[in-house]
Amino acid sequence: MNHYISPEEILRKKREYLIPCAYHFYNQPMQLVRGEMQYLYDSTGKEYLDCFAGVSVVNCGHCNPEITKAICDQVNTLQHTCTIYLTENIVNLAEQLAQLTPGRLQKTFFCSSGSEANEGAALLASLYTGSSEFISLRQGLHGRTKLGMSLTGLSMWRTDNTPVGGINFAPNAYCYRCPLDKKYPECDLACANEIETIIKTATSGKVAAMFVEPIQGNGGMITPPLDYFKRVKSILDAYGILLIVDEVQTGFGRTGTLFAMEHYDVEADIMTMAKALANGTPVGAFTARAEIADVYTRPGASTLGGNPVTAAASLATLHYLTKHDLPGKAAVLGKILKDGLTVLQQKHPIIGDIRGLGLMIGVELVYSDKTPAIKETDLILEEMKNRGILVGKNGPNRNVLAFQPPLVITAEDLHRLLNNLDDVLSSIKI
């Protein structure tokens, strides 16, 4: 029998020893001590169906035995060198990414987080174009480093009060609350067209790149219309501006395709990745077309980037994802979840909007006048947790329920989720 310190004691130590920006969910948080595929267990032995996957990280499930074995085998053989020595996992992983990523993306740099990947991608774009101006989207999130935060268009995550300059924000394709007060498709993608106005009126005319997320995760699961990114890309191409696609949260099967940009049939010039690439082992990467990547020739190393253990975890993750067709499963299961949520929407008017692709689905909760139902979102999260189901929340107002389970979840699990959500929504008084 394991003896764990209590959640109260963890909270006390957290208050005393962690920088307070490390916020947590729930009024009464539990201590998680173990994971097994789509399940998590707390220190009392209570089981939770995980429908958040640590924000789209453990796409192949918690402690997936095949991935864990690959990690342990590598840890027991060679844990770390550095890119100054030759090891084979890093090049095999880069080769696989070149094969699996859409379009002509070919050469990769490995690091240890999504923020670092976006920093690196921005550097590469600057080296290639000779510019350090960027365009980003409102409600986007690209990291917590100086530049990553400056590229972030979501005020909750913009703590830095002296952000980097030269970044302009374009209105996002948030059709439920259109920032331009228009309606799709009559709008003719006015939000995308706005990018051209920004380039012409608010920049020097020489912009390095535009950062986008195929679905804005933290921004509230904002899912642009399928023709949106084609328009964006054609505008950027006309001005010689690179498209950097941040697949940190959407990548690796999450949305029903290996990479979310495949839904939009648009080729990224640089793609950034992290989170699910190594199924929970710290990882980050950016990959680019060869002609772009090849301008980065001065020595640039990340001490832990592409280390043998992380690369082994990533190789095992890619193998598992493809062997079990988890992207295909996410597409099928995502439809079950979305259909079930649509049925609930008829019964519960608090469900204002349902959006997303595959198993990356957001449910925006609102009052009858469409104002965000913030308090109710928290109540639902807490009550679902008490019932043994973990759901996330995001969006600028924190009123969007986020469903991003491990892709190994089953249809039966999703029905359990839907039944419990139905009960909890019925018990909520507005």
Whole-angstrom Cα distance, residue 91 to residue 97?
A: 10
Q: How far is the CB of 350 from ligand PMP (least distance, A)?
A: 26
Q: Is 76 helix (H, G, I), strand (E, B) or coil?
A: coil
Q: How far is the CB of 286 from ligand PMP (least distance, A)?
A: 11
Amino acid symbol at 260: A
Whole-angstrom Cα distance, residue 6 to residue 314?
A: 34
Alpha-carbon radius of gyration of the chain: 21
Q: How far is the CB of 117 from ligand PMP (least distance, A)?
A: 7
Q: How far is the CB of 94 from ligand PMP (least distance, A)?
A: 19
Nearer to ligand PMP, 144 or 177 (CB): 144
Which residue ranges make up the site for ligand PMP (CB under 6 A)? 55, 113-115, 118, 141-144, 213, 217-218, 246, 248-249, 274
What is the token pair recorded at 394? Answer: 């995001």
Q: Is 34 helix (H, G, I), strand (E, B) or coil?
A: strand
Nearer to ligand PMP, 106 or 249 (CB): 249
Q: How far is the CB of 148 from ligand PMP (least distance, A)?
A: 7
Q: How far is the CB of 423 from ligand PMP (least distance, A)?
A: 30
Nearer to ligand PMP, 57 or 421 (CB): 57
Q: If 0-12 CB within 10 Å is exposed, 13-18 middle and 19+ buried, where does residue 168 land?
A: middle
Nearer to ligand PMP, 143 or 327 (CB): 143
Nearer to ligand PMP, 114 or 327 (CB): 114
Whole-angstrom Cα distance, residue 299 to residue 50?
A: 42
Whole-angstrom Cα distance, residue 321 to residue 11?
A: 36
Whole-angstrom Cα distance, residue 109 to residue 286?
A: 6
Q: If 0-12 CB within 10 Å is exposed, 13-18 middle and 19+ buried, where does residue 303 land?
A: exposed
Nearer to ligand PMP, 74 or 115 (CB): 115
Whole-angstrom Cα distance, residue 401 to residue 337?
A: 13
